[in-house]
Chain A
């Protein structure tokens, strides 16, 4: 600590702090322009000049470090004169068009000029002219207003890692431009407009539609687009969202957002929002009153339970909905109807991966702070591009790399492309050999500790790949060896697991291998989750085999306060896949779907549709008509992410508040509707708000029993929520094909010759811009990513004679679609990719799936593709 005096006040400050920080700690505000939270000091604008005793010239407070005994003044006649001069220089070119500038009222230049004067410059020359650019879908650029503080370029480079904009030109003719000089064509995180202090970079979404002082209400909430759970602020006027506004330094995201969180919110105000409940009459969905719809559902559910059994009823929970919504659905199914048939699309990969990893390492393994990733010294990722699936988590990896961390990527690097030390991008179906090699290499370097005998025994059983097997991966052995070397030296490593790891090859083997890497280097594990509340819904018991809090289903009674007793049903519940089979074989008669679109989100669309058609009752609670509501008997309008209160649990286990901002639709909170149905079916409890639901959760869930509602405020509540009994220990686990490795191409197999080199596999593209059915209703997002495309690598495109924008047929055993081609550098050979976003052409309609016998996750099948030019 250092002692100094600022404005005759004694201040104590850390040795490394700047005068600006020291002053702020005692409430002395020094005006700044180029300095901003989260970015390194720049010292470019000279607005923060201060006077230091015995130092001849004024110094910039944002870059000058404190010293013992320093005597500083921040507001003197001399300083103010200098500040006035700085501002006068800026006003030489600044257009002073405040009346038509959206920034007016929250503009730093305006504020500083108001305070320090120099209302206009003395320069007689004309101001520079540079027309406003409104050609970009998201960002309006008015470079006449730019004061060249370089906050935006530093944000885009230093923080976001996109390096998409740069100061071009020289002197007074410097302007911040993207490469094209026109549209940004960037990652569209919008973080540059968060930091621009003036009206030079503005959002186009609400251009000229408000003034900052029109904002009537601001709520702090979490983004509802992915499992990172970024904190964001909704600013509203008359129940309409004016804008989302992150605050620098706040939340797990520290004020950064991605394109979905920043610009994608307009889907909640889309015209397609459902307004009233509907019941299918003679094949057509007809609007009915809420009473009628709920009465219909309860009568039909009662009837089905009586005629068949409660086991003939199932529910699909939602990763888009809050913990309270999911808890209530679980309660309806398990404790009111009496069936353990509840699951969600987390079953496809997130839930099985979580269960497996926790079985190996104990329950603490997957609960980790997302914002700690940037502090690690090495990251291993497999199974998908974090910068697309969980963008702000991906940004953490980029910034760790920039600080010197080693980044090793197995699979397509995507947005990590420029932030990688080892790119181990193997050909399809051979990733396993690469992982296998890394595990054996690490085991040799690190040795065994004996800490977990189960996993060590299995590592020892692995077979060393032979030369041809290694060659078949398409990854150089020396690359793997160097990666092993670097991985073995890490002190604070992180392993990131994405969904693709489980979706081809042998899932349990792949996941075991990655777990073995994590074990050998002692890494923290992060499971990517595209939906915001997959982790929460699992904790809420929306899985067939465990109750809220994660304890396994054991038939019996649970006693709550106020003498309430809940009965746990004894049947073995159906998982998502079994529900589909059950509907087809007639053992399942009714399905309640909350905030999910299984027809769209599951491969083998035909099968799902056939299954849903066979049901006696399909209830769908959603905010839009979807591919699934097409088969529904009853459709209930739900409330969107911005319209309800509740809690969400991010992928690392942090519980945060989701807060109600606007209510546009006439939809009702999912949990309220479900509670009404449950009451009609005999539930006694009543709830006046989501807090009361949460309180019930803490009574039944051992995981949440020690948590305090109030503690969720602010940064949220981190796992294990005050409870100590949840550390858990390692158990033995199963792995399939431990000693076998993928076939070497060209070698004869029983079915003939396998030559992956000439085969193409269709894999899902997980886009940065889209996250399924919500973003495709966002006009804003559609303006940058309007239609599907088939991603293909340069070599394959050359082989097939394809160029960008060619139209092709993609044909698989399951179907065919017409789509345009986009040549993508980092798409591996042997792979073509298509997203599952758009209505007409989507990935899931073209492929099938099988259920992995060990993990019970989904494995893609029938995805061998043929491409024909149209």
Chain B
């Protein structure tokens, strides 16, 4: 079993935000900083969306409109981008999100049994969340780790060479 934290996804320390107003203010500041790092408003969009998702937990229509206002990219285009990438959450998901790859390499290496496992153990199907809010499952196309198939992401952590022997142990770490 290999585990790796995706460097690019390491959340920037944003502090704890409770009420919506201070989250908005933080997002505004964050995007202001981001804007200085990129040449065009458009190139700020992905990191800006990611920042919004970290602050709010998921990307509501309001959040998309806010990102649109702050980046200058139109709301429709923001939505187009958000719905293209499966790592953006367009609805509230569980505390931990399992992104399980079932594309060719992973499938050959037994991803379907892992999917069955999740279904039997947690009654989880694609797109669903467990009743206690602990896990959500998102089935992915190739996540670029075919050489270590089957692979999955849990939140920001990558897990490789998963099997029926270690999946329970991995997931036990996520409460």
Q: Which residues of A contact B (CB under 8 A)?
A: 157, 162-170, 177-179, 418
What is the bound-complex CA distance between A178 and B61, given in angstroms? Answer: 12
Contacts of B65 in A (CB 8 A): 179
Interface centre among A164, A165, A168, A177 (most CB of B within 10 A): A168
Question: Is the beta-carbon distance between A163 and B74 smaller than 8 angstroms?
Answer: yes
A17 to chain B, nearest CB (A): 29
Contacts of B79 in A (CB 8 A): 166, 168, 177, 179
What is the bound-complex CA distance between A167 and B84, given in angstroms? Answer: 9
- Which of B61, B74, B80 makes the CB contact (< 8 A) with A168? B80
Contacts of A170 in B (CB 8 A): 83-84, 86
Contacts of B92 in A (CB 8 A): none
What is the bound-complex CA distance between A167 and B61, given in angstroms? Answer: 16
Question: Is the beta-carbon distance between B74 and A167 smaller than 8 angstroms?
Answer: no
Interface centre among A163, A166, A168, A170 (most CB of B within 10 A): A166
Question: Is the beta-carbon distance between B72 and A177 smaller than 8 angstroms?
Answer: no
A804 to chain B, nearest CB (A): 14
Question: Is the beta-carbon distance between B83 and A164 smaller than 8 angstroms?
Answer: no
- Which of A162, A163, A168, A178 makes the CB contact (< 8 A) with B83? A168
Question: Is the beta-carbon distance between B76 and A165 smaller than 8 angstroms?
Answer: yes
Instruction: Tell me the residues in window 43-74 of chain B with beta carbons closer than 8 Å to chain A beta carbons.
Output: 61, 64-65, 72-74
Bin the interface of chain B by size.
10 to 19
Instruction: Tell me the residues in window 79-101 of chain B with beta carbons closer than 8 Å to chain A beta carbons.
Output: 79-80, 83-84, 86
Question: Is the beta-carbon distance between A169 and B76 smaller than 8 angstroms?
Answer: no
Tell yes or no: B75 within 8 A of A by CB.
yes
B31 to chain A, nearest CB (A): 16
Q: Which secondary structure characterizes the binding site on chain B?
A: helix
Tell yes or no: B77 within 8 A of A by CB.
yes
13 contacts between A and B (CB under 8 A): A157-B74, A157-B77, A163-B73, A165-B76, A166-B74, A166-B80, A168-B80, A168-B83, A170-B83, A177-B76, A177-B79, A179-B76, A179-B79
Q: Which A-B residue pairs are the 3 nearest by beta carbons?
A: A166-B80, A163-B74, A179-B75
What is the bound-complex CA distance between A467 and B72, given in angstroms? Answer: 33
Question: Is the beta-carbon distance between A163 and B77 smaller than 8 angstroms?
Answer: yes
A421 to chain B, nearest CB (A): 13
Question: Is the beta-carbon distance between A166 and B76 smaller than 8 angstroms?
Answer: yes
What is the bound-complex CA distance between A667 and B86, given in angstroms? Answer: 61
What is the bound-complex CA distance between A418 and B68, given in angstroms? Answer: 12
Contacts of B86 in A (CB 8 A): 170
Q: Which secondary structure characterizes the binding site on chain A?
A: mixed
A160 to chain B, nearest CB (A): 11
A191 to chain B, nearest CB (A): 15
What is the bound-complex CA distance between A163 and B75, given in angstroms? Answer: 8
What is the bound-complex CA distance between A167 and B82, given in angstroms? Answer: 11
Question: Is the beta-carbon distance between B72 and A178 smaller than 8 angstroms?
Answer: no
Contacts of A162 in B (CB 8 A): 74
Apart from the given pairs A168-B83, A179-B64, 13 other A-B contacts in the complex at a CB distance below 8 Å: A162-B74, A163-B73, A163-B76, A166-B79, A166-B80, A168-B79, A168-B80, A168-B84, A170-B86, A177-B79, A179-B61, A179-B65, A179-B75
What is the bound-complex CA distance between A412 and B79, given in angstroms? Answer: 28
- Which of B73, B75, B78, B80 makes the CB contact (< 8 A) with A167? B80
Contacts of A157 in B (CB 8 A): 74, 77
What is the bound-complex CA distance between A309 and B33, given in angstroms? Answer: 75
A12 to chain B, nearest CB (A): 39
Contacts of A167 in B (CB 8 A): 80, 84
Contacts of B72 in A (CB 8 A): 418
What is the bound-complex CA distance between A162 and B75, given in angstroms? Answer: 11
What is the bound-complex CA distance between A169 and B86, given in angstroms? Answer: 9
What is the bound-complex CA distance between A162 and B77, given in angstroms? Answer: 11
B88 to chain A, nearest CB (A): 11
Interface centre among B65, B73, B83 (most CB of A within 10 A): B83
Contacts of A168 in B (CB 8 A): 79-80, 83-84
A149 to chain B, nearest CB (A): 15
In the complex, what residue of chain A is closest to B83 when comparing beta carbons?
Answer: A168
What is the bound-complex CA distance between A166 and B74, given in angstroms? Answer: 9
Contacts of A165 in B (CB 8 A): 76
B28 to chain A, nearest CB (A): 15
- Which of B64, B76, B84 makes the CB contact (< 8 A) with A164? B76
A687 to chain B, nearest CB (A): 52
Contacts of B80 in A (CB 8 A): 166-168
A42 to chain B, nearest CB (A): 16
Interface centre among B64, B73, B75, B80 (most CB of A within 10 A): B80
Contacts of B76 in A (CB 8 A): 163-166, 177-179
What is the bound-complex CA distance between A177 and B79, given in angstroms? Answer: 9
In the complex, what residue of chain A is closest to B64 when comparing beta carbons?
Answer: A179
What is the bound-complex CA distance between A178 and B76, given in angstroms? Answer: 6
Contacts of A179 in B (CB 8 A): 61, 64-65, 74-76, 78-79
Contacts of B77 in A (CB 8 A): 157, 163, 166
Contacts of A178 in B (CB 8 A): 76
B74 to chain A, nearest CB (A): 3
B156 to chain A, nearest CB (A): 21
What is the bound-complex CA distance between A418 and B64, given in angstroms? Answer: 17
In the complex, what residue of chain B is closest to A168 when comparing beta carbons?
Answer: B83
Contacts of B75 in A (CB 8 A): 179
Contacts of A177 in B (CB 8 A): 76, 79
A688 to chain B, nearest CB (A): 53
Knowing A177-B79, A179-B79, say if A169 contacts B84 (CB, 8 Å): yes
A157 to chain B, nearest CB (A): 8
Contacts of B78 in A (CB 8 A): 179
What is the bound-complex CA distance between A170 and B65, given in angstroms? Answer: 21
What is the bound-complex CA distance between A177 and B78, given in angstroms? Answer: 12
What is the bound-complex CA distance between A162 and B78, given in angstroms? Answer: 13
A401 to chain B, nearest CB (A): 13
